[in-house]
């Protein structure tokens, strides 16, 4: 029998079939971290909500761990959680919701097989939700919709579904429907079982799973009256006017199964968790950079989708998060980094549950492994054994904010250079170097201004090198080449176009705005000025 490392291929395929690797995406404040913890709570991976630190009237959220996150009450980094449920291994990757950290979310979506799109019942589809859905569509990631905060006043359910179909171009198919309007949640009814209603009893502050009671349709009609009748009528209307649920259509991104509930009080979370097991696809073949694909049963391959330093301040280490794409990962195995062709041993490997770590000896496709102090790795790297493998690179978002970084204390220049290099390797910020300023005053390029808050905080508290940031007037970046560099140097236009170089040796031309860009293009029509991934699309 052929094997992948020491594990037979049939066992690898069996284990891969048990994996569900998914992300939670939404606009800020829609409740992502709350839902993440509620899912872990229902899977009994934790015993009560608020496992780590305070957040509102709850003790905290397991997936938020950085001090800055705790201060702001938002997630600015993605966190991986692994737990078991129904004989499956759930790999849940929480993501930042704030638009300033879209690039981190994009990388996470390269590492998952499904996404839960969280929609606020009162606010409906918001800008960041639409952008993230577009990324899911671009990457072929199927989406499950969870309409959250139904225990508060909000919009009409039918209107919300209409907005999803109109603005996202995907057909919403209800799997669970609310009994009662937003703010007057009486219970839930499943589309496939309208003979009973699920009624919930809230637990104070949502610290434990809400108590669930099943009512027959007769009792529901007797006790809930018009609310029950209206729910059945609305559900029938939606189902009769739509295509119904189809697994192929879901995986093709044509439909999105829809659930209603309230993550804070743990209502409707269990049906959602069951849907991830029953509907979300297991890991499958992964496309390669030069065509073809890496099959799940082939030898080990993995994608580095995130690097995070100082998750444990006492040890000052860093973790490279690797999504296992094929084969089996075994701690201590020698793997090859595709970018350099060099081999290294994976001696220190962990699975991660928020800030908590557990040594992992074996991992299968879909799992997320944290490699400790693998200093040679960068975001987007492909790791493999056996046949040479390289996955497509993770594109960089187009920065829209630029600032020159300088150390406040010149005597700490060594710490300054080390910190800047590490933040660049982690993908926290894009670091650019220009001939005008040199590497002693690098240009920090960000998707959003809150990224500057992160680097200010980390440079001071982690690298002991407080920095000053001098804002620049540029708002656009374009990829250029050697001819473009020469044209920019010759132009010396009044708007101050500048040529910078990224750490991957990509040349970027910076412009103050689209009018200056257009003027330069008219004057130099043959110069390469290629857009990066746009943040405004």
Task: Answer for the pair 39, 133: CB distance below 8 angstroms, yes or no.
Answer: no
Cα–Cα distance measured from residue 418 to residue 459, given in angstroms and rounded to the nearest whole number = 10
Task: Answer for the pair 12, 83: CB distance below 8 angstroms, yes or no.
Answer: no
Q: DSSP character for 520?
A: H
Q: Is the dihedral of CA 144, 149, 155, 157 positive or negative?
A: positive
Q: Is the dihedral of CA 171, 177, 178, 180 positive or negative?
A: positive
Task: Answer for the pair 364, 16: CB distance below 8 angstroms, yes or no.
Answer: yes
Cα–Cα distance measured from residue 291 to residue 389, given in angstroms and rounded to the nearest whole number = 11
531 is in an annotated binding site: no
Task: Answer for the pair 379, 348: CB distance below 8 angstroms, yes or no.
Answer: no
The residue to which tokens 């200010």 are assigned: 456
Cα–Cα distance measured from residue 116 to residue 203, given in angstroms and rounded to the nearest whole number = 24
Q: Is the dihedral of CA 328, 378, 368, 248 positive or negative?
A: negative
Tokens at 215, concatenated: 């009512």
98 is in an annotated binding site: yes
First vs last C-alpha separation in the chain: 50
Helices 157-168 & 226-241, crossing angle to 10 degrees?
A: 20
What distance separates the 2 farthest-apart alpha carbons in the chain? Answer: 82
Phi and psi at residue 214, to the nearest 5°? -100, 125
Phi and psi at residue 454, to the nearest 5°? -65, -45
94 is in an annotated binding site: yes
- Alpha helix (H) ranges present in 157-205? 157-168
- DSSP reduced 3-state for 383: strand
Residue set of the binding site for GTP: 94-98
Residue set of the binding site: 94-98
């Amino acid at each position: 029998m052929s094997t992948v490392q020491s594990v037979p291929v049939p066992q690898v395929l069996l284990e891969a079939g048990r994996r569900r690797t998914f992300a939670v995406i939404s606009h800020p404040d829609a409740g992502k971290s709350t839902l993440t913890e509620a899912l872990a709570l229902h899977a009994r991976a934790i015993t009560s909500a608020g496992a780590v630190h305070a957040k509102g009237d709850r003790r905290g959220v397991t997936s938020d761990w950085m001090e800055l996150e705790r201060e702001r009450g938002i997630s600015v980094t993605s966190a991986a959680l692994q737990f078991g449920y129904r004989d499956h291994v759930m790999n849940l990757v929480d993501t930042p919701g704030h638009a300033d950290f879209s690039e981190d979310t994009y990388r996470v979506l390269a590492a998952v097989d499904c996404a839960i799109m969280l929609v606020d019942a009162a606010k409906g589809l918001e800008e960041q939700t639409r952008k993230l859905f577009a990324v899911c569509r671009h990457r072929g990631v199927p989406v499950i919709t969870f309409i959250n905060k139904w225990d508060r006043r909000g919009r009409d359910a039918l209107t919300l579904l209409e907005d999803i179909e109109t603005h996202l171009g995907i057909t919403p198919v209800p799997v669970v429907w609310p009994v009662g309007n937003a703010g007057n949640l009486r219970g839930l009814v499943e589309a496939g079982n309208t003979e009973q209603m699920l009624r919930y009893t809230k637990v104070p502050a949502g610290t434990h799973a809400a108590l669930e009671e099943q009512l027959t349709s007769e009792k529901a009609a007797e006790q809930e009256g018009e609310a029950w009748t209206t729910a059945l009528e609305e559900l029938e209307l939606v189902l009769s006017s739509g295509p119904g649920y189809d697994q192929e259509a879901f995986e093709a991104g044509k439909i999105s199964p829809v659930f209603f509930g309230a993550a804070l009080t743990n209502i409707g979370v269990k049906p959602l968790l069951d849907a991830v097991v029953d509907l979300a696809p297991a890991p499958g073949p992964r496309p390669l950079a030069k065509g073809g694909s890496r099959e799940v049963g082939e030898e080990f391959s993995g994608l580095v989708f995130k690097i995070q330093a100082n998750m444990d301040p006492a040890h000052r280490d860093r973790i490279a998060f690797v999504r296992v794409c094929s084969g089996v990962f075994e701690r201590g195995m020698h793997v090859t980094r595709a970018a350099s062709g060099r081999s290294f041993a994976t001696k220190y490997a962990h699975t991660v549950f928020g800030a908590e770590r557990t040594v992992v000896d074996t991992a299968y496709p879909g799992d997320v492994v944290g490699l400790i102090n693998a200093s040679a790795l960068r975001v987007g790297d492909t790791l493999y054994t056996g046949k040479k493998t390289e996955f497509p690179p993770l594109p960089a978002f187009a920065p829209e904010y630029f600032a020159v970084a300088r150390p406040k204390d010149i005597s700490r220049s060594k710490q300054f250079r080390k910190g800047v290099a590490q933040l660049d390797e982690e993908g926290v910020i894009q670091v650019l170097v220009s001939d005008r300023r040199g590497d002693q005053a690098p240009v920090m390029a960000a998707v959003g201004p809150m990224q500057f808050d992160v680097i200010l905080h980390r440079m001071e508290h982690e690298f002991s090198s407080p920095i000053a940031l001098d804002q620049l007037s540029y708002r656009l970046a374009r990829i250029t080449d050697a001819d473009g560099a020469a044209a920019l140097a010759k132009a010396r236009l009044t708007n101050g176009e500048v040529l910078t170089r990224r750490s991957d040796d990509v040349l970027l031309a910076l412009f103050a705005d689209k009018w200056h860009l257009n003027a330069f293009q008219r004057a130099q029509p043959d110069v390469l000025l290629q857009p990066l991934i746009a943040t405004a699309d």
